[in-house]
Amino acid sequence: MTALHLSEAGEAEAIAAFLARLLRWDKTAAVRLQAAGGVLAVFGQPPFGGVLAIRTAELATPTELDATVSAGQLLDGIEEPSGTVAVPGSVTGPAWAGLLPPRAGWQRVEGLPGADDIRAAAAAGVAEFRARTEQLAPDARTRVALDAIADDIWSRQLGGTGFPLRAVHAAHALGFLRPVRMPVPAPRGASPDALALLSAGPWLRLRTPYGSVAVRRASGLGLSVTPA
């Protein structure tokens, strides 16, 4: 079994919190791990319509690794006091695990609202969903009706950026949009001003001091695919 040693024990706490949130939605969730040089990236998919979530951490020792594993087993293998991550055996991953955002080539997209406005947009979407569902008669609150309301709200864009609100919702639910107080280490290279919207090919990525969420844009030829 491969053991990864993180540069700080607090990094292990942050990865554990990320995995716990994914498992709250799906107890059988899988994640893809990529370690290159001194950085570990953990990719997961929360249930927000094709959104990928990424949490990175700095490694104490440069390591090369690429594996898809059980999120639950990975969480069980984290020892927070020592900052050690025991990597379990590989599993057959879901389709999204083979289609990841590129590692390089990202460019900043202008027009991203400030952090407070982004958090407000997520909160407003949640409040609207709750209000609209409460307006439905009890026998009308079917899965189809609720999904239609959710799609109407979360398919909207964040300002004029082209970034869907469902991805903002995912970032909010994962704790990536919380105010910067740094109770645990932020991802490698992040800083209080790390909030940015980035693009690379068909991908859009919202980077925050605590992690990133990414989506692929549709085109006239359908979704572009970038093997990883």
Residues in the chain: 228
Which range has the worst mean pLDDT, 17-21, 36-40, 119-123, 210-214?
Answer: 36-40
Joined together, the tokens standing for residue 111 give: 């027009």
Token readout for 12 is 């292990």
> Rounded to an integer, what distance in angstroms lies between the CA atom of residue 148 and that of residue 144?
6
Q: What is the mean pLDDT of the chain?
A: 87
* Confidence at residue 181, expressed as pLDDT on a 0 to 100 scale: 63
111-155: pLDDT as tens digits: 999 999 999 999 999 999 999 999 999 999 999 999 999 999 999
pLDDT band at 224 (very low <50, low <70, confident <90, very high): very low
Residue 158 pLDDT more than 70? yes
Q: How far apart are the first and last CA of the chain?
A: 23
What is the DSSP secondary structure assignment for residue 157, as one 8-state letter?
B
pLDDT band at 227 (very low <50, low <70, confident <90, very high): very low
Task: Write out the CATH class of domain 2-98.
Answer: alpha beta
- Regarding pTM above 0.95, the answer is no
pLDDT tens for residues 59-111? 998 889 999 999 999 999 999 888 999 999 999 989 999 999 998 899 999 99
- Give dist(CA 7, CA 47) in Å, integer: 30
The whole-number average pLDDT for the span 36-62 is 92
Residues of the chain with CATH 3.10.150.10: 2-98
In this structure, is the dihedral angle defined by the CA atoms of residues 23, 37, 103 and 172, taken in order, positive or negative?
A: positive
Residue 189: predicted pLDDT: 47
